[in-house]
Amino acid sequence: MKCKTCGTKAVVNMPQHKLAMCKEHYLEWIPEQTARFIRKYWMFGPDEKILVAVSGGKDSLSLWDILIRLGYQVDGIYIGLGIDEGIGYSDTSLRLCREFAEKNQQKLIVVDVKGERGQSIPELASNGSRGRMKPCSVCGVVKRHEMNRIAFEHGYAVLATGHNLDDEAATLFGNTLSWSKDLLLRQKPVLPEQNGLARKVKPLCRFYEKEMTAYAMLRGIEYIYEECPFSVGSTSIYYKELLNQLENERPGAKLAFYVKFLSARASGLFKEDDYQPIEEVEGQIGVCSTCGQPTTNSGMCAFCKIVTFDKKDE
């Protein structure tokens, strides 16, 4: 196997693209492709302030690395979830994010959920008054809220996350199985800024997970190998396994599934159905009575319901 660019021995083989590359050219190709996706989907411009959400995993730290290499002004945000589960998951992931930030002389904003709200994610999830909730449901609400809050308070126009193609294809698969029109309409590489919330972008959405693993390893990025303990047995992991079976038989199938969905939607897949008068759409968004963030709930947003109930019980 030879590098398509220089003909020396390739270290990465990508049958999905019918492409193989040496280390040097692979490490150039990934940022070039990322820059292409940023332009193609109109994610952000060179002067915009970007906040990248980092978890200590390969995708988010690689995204931070790539955006730095591309010359963007990009700071990191780490949400400390307080997940230990016998492996010190949150402690290790925070340490790796801090080390990355120091090594690259970048700013990292750390939000410690337990320090600020009194309870970690597992504690908020098992708190009795609201009934038990799944840690991932609580976690999703808390992470979204805190990232939006920090982006707003610190004036970041853009919030970038490290979702890769495997994540997006698994989400798309789940949304398609249930034909969740609202979720299919919202599943985009870019969600525009609205109601004071920063624009959300996913610059890695067209890279396979294994491409990001190769990038992180070849760049020498130290990341946490363990997945979050609460992800074990999740539906999204099951969908990823199913899609990997398909991909093994038909290289490129996962990418085609996702990219063709984006083009089908852009060319009007939902056109007739998705029309809603603008007054109706705007009427659905209110403001949380406690924190002021936009919400479709009346009264308190989902985040404030979680953390406020818990405070009363202390």
The distance of closest approach from Cβ of residue 46 to ligand Q46 in the complex, given in angstroms and rounded to an integer, is: 30
The interface partner of residue 184, options being ligand Q46, Zn ion, none and the CB cut-off 5 to 8 Å by kind, is none
Contact 83, 67 (CB under 8 A): no
The distance of closest approach from Cβ of residue 141 to ligand Q46 in the complex, given in angstroms and rounded to an integer, is: 10
The interface partner of residue 139, options being ligand Q46, Zn ion, none and the CB cut-off 5 to 8 Å by kind, is ligand Q46
Count CB atoms within 10 A of the CB of residue 189.
21
The distance of closest approach from Cβ of residue 215 to ligand Q46 in the complex, given in angstroms and rounded to an integer, is: 20
The interface partner of residue 230, options being Zn ion, ligand Q46, none and the CB cut-off 5 to 8 Å by kind, is ligand Q46
The interface partner of residue 136, options being Zn ion, ligand Q46, none and the CB cut-off 5 to 8 Å by kind, is ligand Q46
Q: Rule CB under 5 A: choose which of 50, 141, 262, 304 binds Zn ion.
A: 304
The distance of closest approach from Cβ of residue 288 to Zn ion in the complex, given in angstroms and rounded to an integer, is: 3
3-state SS, residue 74: strand
Q: Which of 23, 19, 24, 26 is nearest to 4 (CA)?
A: 19
Site residues for ligand Q46 per CB under 6 A? 121, 135-136, 139-140, 228, 230-231
Q: What is d(CA 91, CA 84) in angstroms, rounded to the nearest whole number?
A: 8
Total residue count of the chain as it appears in this document: 314
> CB under 8 Å to 260, separation ≥6 — which residues?
none
Task: Write out the DSSP string of 167-210.
Answer: HHHHHHHHHHHTT-HHHHHH--SEE--BTTBPEEE-TTTTS-HH
3-state SS, residue 158: strand
- The residue among 72 and 230 lying less far from ligand Q46, judged by its C-beta, is 230
Q: Rule CB under 5 A: choose which of 14, 25, 208, 230 binds Zn ion.
A: 25
Q: Rule CB under 5 A: choose which of 288, 306, 307, 310 binds Zn ion.
A: 288
Contact 59, 163 (CB under 8 A): yes
- The residue among 228 and 301 lying less far from ligand Q46, judged by its C-beta, is 228
Q: Is 92 near Zn ion (CB under 5 A)?
A: no
- The residue among 15 and 88 lying less far from ligand Q46, judged by its C-beta, is 88
- The residue among 68 and 77 lying less far from ligand Q46, judged by its C-beta, is 77
Q: Rule CB under 5 A: choose which of 33, 104, 236, 290 binds Zn ion.
A: 290
The distance of closest approach from Cβ of residue 200 to ligand Q46 in the complex, given in angstroms and rounded to an integer, is: 15
Q: Is 285 near Zn ion (CB under 5 A)?
A: no
- Sequence letter at residue 226: E
The strand pairing partners of 287, in sequence order, are 294
Q: What is d(CA 208, CA 27) in angstroms, rounded to the nearest whole number?
A: 15
Alpha helices for the chain (secondary structure H): 23-40, 58-69, 89-103, 113-117, 121-126, 135-154, 165-177, 181-186, 209-219, 235-249, 253-266, 278-284, 302-313
Stretch that binds Zn ion, among 133-141, 152-160, 241-249, 281-289 (CB under 5 A): 281-289
- The residue among 10 and 54 lying less far from Zn ion, judged by its C-beta, is 10
The interface partner of residue 288, options being Zn ion, ligand Q46, none and the CB cut-off 5 to 8 Å by kind, is Zn ion
Q: Is 291 near Zn ion (CB under 5 A)?
A: yes
Residue ranges in contact with Zn ion by CB under 5 A: 3, 5-6, 22, 25, 288, 290-291, 301, 304
